[in-house]
């Protein structure tokens, strides 16, 4: 059995990528299983998805604890402990990271080591489509290539899954074409599936009774989410061009994170530590005063 774990941010297309690989494998006659896991829906929050491919019925379910391949849609996830990108990764696991950096640069700047292959899907998508969007087809094609699936089945799987999402034929064709470029461009690394060394027995621990002040789900520390930065979630950042801004405050009203404040001159200002990069403010801006810049890798921490 081949186990592929996808990590992305809500909205990037990790779930659809897992389905593209699942469908492609299924079309080639394998048994496939795919599933996503996410919390309360929040764009930009870490999500994971899992695809299993086998020749026999699959008895595993749910999260993949020891992946053969990890596909990382956004390099900023590597440094986010809640994303658990490196959980269960061993010397046999292959990592694909969507990043402009080289494997060596990534190894130097992040905690990844071992077997790594890299391609800047975000840049390809920007150049080809001229705007930011989900990169599910590209991720799916790369993962499919690394998993040894055939280009025809991946092309067909992309059509099926993107059609399922309600995308139009021209959009699907563009995605398909770029996905196949990525399929060719990614540097393949041979996967090494097969049984892993047995894990030891779990170290169980039964918690003891705590007083209700501690043993009840609740928060008493006050609003400390204010000191948590979500800067690392951004692939793109909104940047204001004050000369174009008409002061309508639509961006202020639509920011889901409350990251935009209004200055005394009536113009908005983005507080970047609380900006997750969803770009809703850019979408609503009637004068294109909110512009988009790609975050340089590693600079937005």
Partner 1 sequence: MNQASQMMTGNLAAAWGARLADVDYVPAFPITPQTEIVETLSKWCAGGELNARFVTLDSEHSMMTAAGAASATGARVFTATSSQGLLHAFEVLYTVAGWRVPFVLVNVSRALASPITLEPDHNDVLAARDSGFLQIHAETCQEVVDSILMAYRIAEDPRVCLPVMVNLDGFVLSFTREPVVLPEPAMVHEFLPPFRPAHLGFKASAPHALGTAVVGGSIYTYFRHQIHLASMNGLAVYDEAAAAFERICGRRYAAIDGYRLDDAEDVLVMTNASASKGKAAVDAAREEGRRVGLLRLRLIRPWPAEAIRDALQGRRAVAVLDQNLAPGQGGILFQEIAACLYHEALRPRALCSFIGGLGGKNLSEGEFRAIFEQTAEAGVRGKGIGPVLLYTEAEHREMQQMQYLAHELKTGR
The binding site for partner 1 (CB under 8 A) comprises: 19, 22-23, 26, 31-37, 39-40, 58-63, 65, 198-207, 213-214, 217-224, 226-227
**Smallest distance, partner 1 to C-beta of residue 23, A:** 6
Q: Which of residues 165-184 bind ligand SF4 (CB under 6 A)?
A: none
Closest CA to 141 of 155, 127, 160, 131: 155
Structure token digits, residue 21: 């690989």
Q: Does 240 bind ligand SF4 (CB under 6 A)?
A: yes
- Residue among 21 and 251 whose Cβ is closer to ligand SF4: 251
**Smallest distance, ligand SF4 to C-beta of residue 167, A:** 23
Which helix (H) or strand (E) is 189 found in, with range? none
Q: Name residue, tokens 């404040």.
A: 261
Pairwise CA distance, residues 153 & 28, whole Å? 7
Q: Which residues contact 255 (CB under 8 A, 6 or more apart)?
A: 275, 280, 281
Pairwise CA distance, residues 51 & 25, whole Å? 10
Return the residue of 64, 70, 116, 259 that touches ligand SF4, per CB under 6 A.
Answer: 259
CB-CB contact of 8 with 44 (8 Å): no
Pairwise CA distance, residues 297 & 301, whole Å? 9
171 binds, among ligand SF4, partner 1, none (CB under 5 to 8 A by kind): none
Question: By rule CB under 6 A, what string of x and - marks binding of each residue 209-228 to ligand SF4?
Answer: --------------------
Which residues here bind ligand SF4, judged by CB under 6 A?
238, 240, 245-251, 255, 257, 259-260, 268, 270, 275-281, 284-287, 289-290
């Amino acid at each position: 059995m081949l186990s592929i774990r996808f990590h992305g941010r809500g909205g990037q297309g990790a779930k659809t990528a897992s389905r593209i690989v699942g469908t492609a494998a299924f079309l080639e006659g394998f048994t496939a299983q795919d599933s996503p896991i996410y919390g309360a829906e929040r764009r930009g929050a870490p999500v994971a998805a899992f695809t299993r491919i086998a020749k026999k019925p699959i008895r595993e379910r749910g999260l993949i604890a020891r992946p053969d391949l990890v596909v990382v849609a956004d390099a900023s996830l590597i440094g986010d402990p809640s994303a658990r990108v490196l959980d269960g990764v061993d010397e046999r696991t292959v990592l694909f990271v969507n990043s402009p950096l080289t494997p060596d640069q990534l190894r130097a700047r992040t905690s990844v080591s071992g077997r790594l292959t890299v391609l800047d899907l975000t840049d390809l998508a920007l150049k080809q489509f001229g705007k930011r969007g989900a990169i599910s087809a590209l991720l799916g094609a790369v993962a499919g290539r690394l998993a040894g699936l055939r280009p025809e089945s991946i092309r067909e799987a992309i059509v099926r899954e993107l059609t399922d999402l309600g995308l139009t034929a021209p959009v699907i064709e563009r995605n398909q074409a770029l996905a196949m470029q990525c399929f060719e461009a990614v540097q393949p690394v041979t996967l090494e599936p097969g049984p892993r060394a047995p894990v030891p027995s779990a170290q169980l621990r039964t918690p003891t009774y705590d007083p209700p002040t501690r043993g009840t789900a609740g928060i008493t520390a006050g609003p400390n989410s204010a000191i948590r930065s979500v800067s690392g979630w951004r692939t793109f950042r909104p940047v204001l061009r004050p000369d174009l801004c008409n002061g309508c405050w639509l961006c202020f009203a639509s920011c889901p994170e409350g990251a935009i404040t209004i200055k005394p001159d009536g113009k908005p200002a983005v507080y970047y530590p609380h900006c997750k990069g969803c770009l809703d403010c850019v979408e609503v801006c009637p004068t294109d005063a909110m512009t988009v810049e790609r975050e340089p890798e590693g600079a937005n921490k």
